[in-house]
Structure 1
């Protein structure tokens, strides 16, 4: 079931492209994205996305409050920018360089050859996970 979901999400990525703003996430996508967020992002951004995670005090610059991305972008969720920030194409000081973000290869290792996903390659799995995170972040906007 999860591999079918990931394939559909990856397929939707190709169809919609990054230049358009997709519809709001469905509950299943948002739930998967929330789980990924808690596992991978909450240490810095906090479980609520406000930027006050347990390690946030270690940064010279406070992690961003992810609930106000739309508010700071004239009420429009910056889908493409958020996607690029997560996948490493957009440099963010706290994440390290775009060559090797602190969390850079996590999703790719997870989707590697030891994981069996019939008909879905590792890059599609990574894209699906990133899209799920972006969809989740879209649902927590104020």
Structure 2
């Protein structure tokens, strides 16, 4: 019986379904569109005031040899990949996206890593914007 309780959290984690596209779209509209533009091409309202170009988010797959870089994208949004960059002007959204459920994401090592479902939803929405 003890063994069953030990694996229940893993079963619950892997049984989660993909987050709805509406969640990702709403997060993008609220947090990203002002800089990256409604269509993700980096032509929102803020680029002129930032002093540097804003990346075109519709070419992430193209720039990564035809594969959407989900783990990298989530790391940039969360702030993990930019924590040591003093020149980054993009805000870290990790704390804001922590609220809510977790979903298992394979980050490349074959294991499911508990990841905020809202972060996964936003990355999935960005994947849908690819050219």
TM-score (norm 1): 0.63
2:24/2:124 contact within 8 Å kept: yes
What CA deviation, in whole Å up to 9, does each residue of 1:96-132 have, x standing for no partner? 5xxxx3x453334xx3xxxxxxxxxx57397111000
For the Cα contact (< 8 Å) 2:47–2:53, is it kept in 1? Answer: yes
Match of 2:58 among 67, 81, 105: 67
Output the CA distance in 1 between the equivalents of 2:72 and 2:101: 19
TM-score, normalised by the number of residues in structure 2: 0.68
**Count, aligned residues:** 105
- Please state whether the residue corresponding to 1:105 is helix, strand or coil: helix
Unaligned runs of 5+ in 1: 1-9, 16-24, 112-121
Which residue does the alignment assign to 2:89? 94
In 2, Cα distance between equivalents of 1:80 and 1:46:
22
Q: Report which structure shows greater RCO (CA 8 Å, sep ≥6).
A: 1
Pair member with larger Rg? 2
Give the structure with the larger strand fraction: 2
Residues 10-52 of structure 1: CA deviation (Å, up to 9, x unaligned): 935x99xxxxxxxxx96x6222101110011111111110111
Unaligned runs of 5+ in 2: 1-11, 104-114
